[in-house]
Amino acid sequence: MIRARGLAASAALLALAVTGVTGCTEESQQAAQDVVSSATAAAASAAQEKMNQVKDGVNATGDVKAGPTKADGDRTTVELTATNPTDKNADYTILVNFRDDGGNLLDAVVVNIDAVGPGASKTGTARSNRTLSGETTAEVQQALRH
CA 47 to chain centre: 7
CA atoms within 13 A on the CB side of 122: 20
pLDDT tens figures, 68-97: 999 999 999 999 999 999 999 999 999 999
Among 17-21, 106-110, 134-138, name the one with the lowest average pLDDT: 17-21
Give pLDDT, residue 37. Answer: 64
Confidence of residue 16 (pLDDT cuts 50, 70, 90): very low
For helices 26-52 and 2-22, give the axis angle rounded to 10 degrees: 180
Do residues 136 and 76 make contact, with C-beta atoms less than 8 angstroms apart? yes
pTM of the entire structure? 0.75
Q: Which helix (H) or strand (E) holds 102?
A: none
136 has which bridge partners?
100
CB neighbourhood size of 3 (10 A)? 13
